[in-house]
């Protein structure tokens, strides 16, 4: 598993609440949902790291081409 580096993220309450609801709907933790969204945004922008595997704590998403599935 790749090294995980903690960092502080400041975000307004409404955005955080919306992402938390989305995470709950997808059965992910808030942290897992933020990581999923970041990986998807990187992939969509053509900036995903080569050979980078997603963390194992987020459920697989069939639309997420970065997963091992």
User: Which pLDDT band holds residue 62 (cuts at 50, 70, 90)?
Assistant: very low
- Minimal CA–CA distance to 55: which of 3, 7, 6, 19? 3
Is the entire prediction scored with pTM above 0.75?
Answer: no
Dump pLDDT digits (tens) for 14-30.
999 999 999 999 999 99
Q: Quick one: average pLDDT of 24-50? A: 96
User: Which pLDDT band holds residue 61 (cuts at 50, 70, 90)?
Assistant: low
Whole-angstrom distance, CA of residue 8 vs CA of residue 30: 14
């Amino acid at each position: 598993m790749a090294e995980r580096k903690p960092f502080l993220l400041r975000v307004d309450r409404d955005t955080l609440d919306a992402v938390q609801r989305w995470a709950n709907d997808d059965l992910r933790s808030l942290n897992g949902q933020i990581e999923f969204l970041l990986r998807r945004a990187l992939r969509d922008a053509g900036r995903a790291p080569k050979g980078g595997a997603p963390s194992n704590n987020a459920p697989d998403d069939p639309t997420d081409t970065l997963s091992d599935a």
